[in-house]
Structure 1
Amino acid sequence: MEKKVIRIGSVGVGAIWTGVHEPGIRRSPDLELVAICDIDAEKLRAVGEKYGIDEAHRFTDYRDLIRCPDVDAVDICTSNDAHFEIAMAAVEAGKPYDVEKPVTMTAAEADILAKATAEKGLPNMVCFSYRFKAAARCARELIEQGKIGRVYHVDMQYFQAWGLPRCNTPRVWRFVKSRTGSGAMGDLGCHALDLVRFVVGGDYTRVVGHTGTYVTERKRLDGTGMGPVDVDDFCNYMADMEGGVSASFQITRFGYGRGNYQRMEIYGSEGAIVYTLDAEPGREDELEVCAGDVYADAHTFVKLPIPEHCRSDQMQSFADIINGSADGKAATIADGRSNQRVLDAILRSAQEGRWLAVPKGE
């Protein structure tokens, strides 16, 4: 396939777009930002002026952006409730898309989107961004190479702190079930599910979950008083995976002192791997390994240098997918659909208080 510069139209120009997507588009020699869309007209104007997008390519309706002949591919960075309809519109227009996680609000929506995308044969990507962390990719390689033998256990933590009362975070859309689907589970937990699956391999077979909400109301954005919080602030869950792997997860937006912290411990028959991400200035994701009798007997983990070939970039990967030169490690709608099925099962398990099998699909 001939390599080409792909003209990107971004829908939703909030924090995740300005912090991750736009810088990635700008870094890639294969992508060009040509159009933006947001329902906030003032934000749209400010962003358009900042990034040099002329008024003819600023839209308040995503349908107009998708119809724009200058847009080759659609970048979806909205609240969760809009992912499905925007992605479906891109599919109907025959345009490749990337979409933020979780891919949809329900597994049923994810099934519909996956089927429609496959029928059109469209390039696509789901933005499980931690697949692009070099330490995570290195851990995956070590497991594929058999460096720690058969994997027995995985323990995964993902902590942030912005939900704590001391942060005074108002009732943004991530606290409203009709906009987000779930709270910490859909915000952070889906990342954790995908990262463990990506690194260890194998699908989830059954799950059990426990969720809770610490702050049950927050200040409304329009200043009209307090509004209810109807999503989870934390979610703890366990899972069985293919190959006999047992996994446990702790997810919270109430992790005092944590900005964006992940820790994955993987224990096998011949070694162990510890992946750590502490997203603070000057700190990079890290990998520690204990393998071999000498290190095992001394209870010693050694920090590994991360090979350069493990470094990657999310938005460049989207360009590579479209241009037919991808490495196959980015998540697609098939991964997003699988993730949504597990997410739904965990939330239902938490309501029913029992283990549930993860539904199988195509």
Structure 2
Amino acid sequence: MRTTLILSTALAGFGFAAAAQEVNVVSWGGAYEKSQVEAYNKPFAEKTGIKVNMIAADNPATPLKTQVEANNITGDVFDIEVSDAIRLCDEGALVEIDPADLPPAPDGTPAVEDFIDGALQDCAVANIFWGTVIAFDTTKFEGEAPSTAADFFDLEKFPGQRGLPKTPKRTLYLALIADGVPADEIYDALESEEGVNRAFDKLDTIKDSVVWWEAGAQPVQLLADGEVTMATGYNGRFFDAMVAEGKPFEIIWDGQYMDLDMFAIPKGSPNPEAAMEYLKFATSTEQLAEQAKYIAYGPARKSSAALVGLYQDGETEMGPHMPTNPEYLETAVMDDPEFWADHDAELTERFNSWLAGS
């Protein structure tokens, strides 16, 4: 039986005391999970007395959907992508969140003005901007090193296996970028049969040299094991491998795919009050900036930017490693959740047929 939350003036900032209370947070594991544990979970537990249980998933939206469909909700807060947040909110599966309930910036700026555009949805609040980028093993190339999305597809000049995610969302755009389509025209291209054909034609040029991955830790491991010479993956994972583990990797920012991760609370969660207090705490200015000590993902609040400094090693400046670095935004493709809500099913079906060789 859940312990009843008790109102307490001693915790006025949170609205309640939480003896023996807990909250179950479902996230992506790996270096990203570590950053959340250090920046959100530990200080939240210390301040409120609420225990935070971290649960890893390859994609937290998958168990969220399963739990909703089974009417058996065991998670309280899920870290999911924007398109999933919009879709599940439209289906009535998520708790609506009033921006007025979120903490303001330190200077009093309301949350609705402080969060970056797109970071607040009806049923979800963003915590980070992140990028899918290309990384390569510097020991595998003598002389000129790859530096563009087009180089990823140039097997003659830069030989070796390639690592790609087993999804159309983060492969079709890259093929088009490499084939010369400007970043701001990617979705226009993908809305046409000609553009989709063009993307698959480009993928055909490396299909026999691709190792497909499905979990965020895999591209880093593929590079480390020498199974591939270049791979696309999450910029924070590559950063962790490069800086924390000393791997000889380098990131190519050309044509990065930018997305937001968001916290959402399912209707029927076991600990709804604790879940909402966790969400508000974790998306405050200070905690979002604190996460940047541990991983190279950009905070979703404008007021957090000035607080981002050094990595936990006390030496590495985080700014140049952030996907939101202005230099990297010139050729970045921003996720369009509305596009994927409309086209995900058909493009996934075609992608799977292409993979199967039909």
TM-score, scaled to structure 1: 0.29
Q: Which has the higher contact order (CA 8 A, sep 6+)?
A: 2
TM-score, scaled to structure 2: 0.29
